[in-house]
Amino acid sequence: MKPAPFAYAKARTLDDAIRLLGEHKGDAKLLAGGQSLIATLNMRLSSPSLLVDINGIGLDGVSVKDGVVEIGALARHVTLERSSDIAKHAPLIALAMPHVAHPAIRNRGTIGGSLAYADPAAELPACLVALDGEVDVTGPNGKRAVKAADFFKGLFETALGAHDVLSAIRFPAAAADTRVGFAELARRHGDYALVGLAAVAKAKGKSLSDIRLVYFGVGALPVRAHKAEAALAAGAVDEAVKMLDLDPSDDLHASGTVKKHLAGVLLRRVAEQLAEPRA
């Protein structure tokens, strides 16, 4: 299908983008990598009167300062996949990135676009929640930081208003005692996950603490498995699987029962990863 007619404007700065969104009173859409947006336009699932292209506004860097990793919203997936700073300071993102779509899509797709789109089966929203990160949301009244856990509101729904731009992402850099784990099951490598799990913990000797297990593909938004976290901290992997506090519903790809079973399989895999120091 072809999209409905729309106007196009290339923003030169972040302020320019916010102004253009404001002038079109909720009837404009930001264009980042276009990897999700263009498909929704072509299928006429959305028909904005204006596309505001933000590819020229910068905001595509990665920095690590004072123990915090900051990534500009326009950083492309491939940039993160190849970044030595991400490999060293954000190993969870490095583990997840090869699972985010296919190489051609990773060449254009951006981290800001992925988080703003908030697909419940996407890897990066779950990673950001597991990392206890936050996003900068910049709008007509300035910039505000929103914790990842408050940013994802529902199915494809976030805390972004119609005139807001997600401008950056921040989370703590991995320390010597940080352990991470990531696993997903998809029909084909690079497809959206049937079920996936992103995890972060702190290690002292053989014991783990501050465990954050965040599932994706099992609900409308990233889901933390609090009871399983507590069991895993006590070193009881079987118990953690039994305690998995998830209630996935059936979808086109699998029943809720199958998803719950797969979540347990992934938990065992990720528990093994968390038990090993990083190379």
Ligand X SMILES: Cc1cc2nc3c(=O)[nH]c(=O)nc-3n(C[C@H](O)[C@H](O)[C@H](O)COP(=O)(O)OP(=O)(O)OC[C@H]3O[C@@H](n4cnc5c(N)ncnc54)[C@H](O)[C@@H]3O)c2cc1C
| Residues forming the site for ligand X (CB under 6 A) | 29-37, 39, 73, 100-101, 105, 108-110, 112-114, 116-117, 122-124, 160, 165-166, 191-192
Cβ distance to ligand X smaller for residue 69 or 192: 192
Q: What Å distances lie between residue 100 and 7, 9, 155, 213, 267, CA to CA?
A: 30, 28, 19, 19, 20
Cβ distance to ligand X smaller for residue 22 or 34: 34
28 forms beta bridges with 50
> C-beta of 179: minimal distance to ligand X in Å?
23
Cβ distance to ligand X smaller for residue 21 or 203: 21
Assess contact for 81 and 105: CB atoms under 8 A: no
> C-beta of 70: minimal distance to ligand X in Å?
14
Nearest CA-CA partner of 171 in 64, 27, 268: 64
Report long-range pairs for 188-193 (Cβ below 8 Å, ≥24 apart). Answer: 189/99, 190/99, 190/100, 190/101, 190/102, 192/119, 192/121, 192/122, 192/217, 193/99, 193/121, 193/123, 193/217
Look at the block and give the residue holding tokens 């065992």.
268
Cβ distance to ligand X smaller for residue 32 or 183: 32
Cβ distance to ligand X smaller for residue 192 or 229: 192
Cβ distance to ligand X smaller for residue 118 or 240: 118
> C-beta of 80: minimal distance to ligand X in Å?
11
> C-beta of 107: minimal distance to ligand X in Å?
10
> C-beta of 99: minimal distance to ligand X in Å?
6
> C-beta of 105: minimal distance to ligand X in Å?
5
Assess contact for 134 and 103: CB atoms under 8 A: no
Cβ distance to ligand X smaller for residue 21 or 228: 21
140 forms beta bridges with none
> C-beta of 203: minimal distance to ligand X in Å?
28
Assess contact for 214 and 263: CB atoms under 8 A: no
Report the 10 Å Cβ neighbour count for 27. Answer: 13
Question: E-assigned strands of 73-218?
Answer: 134-139, 142-147, 152-154, 157-158, 165-172, 178-185, 195-204, 207-216
Assess contact for 54 and 32: CB atoms under 8 A: yes
Tokens matching residue 61: 């860097």
Cβ distance to ligand X smaller for residue 124 or 203: 124
> C-beta of 113: minimal distance to ligand X in Å?
2
Instruction: Give the amino acid at 275.
Output: A
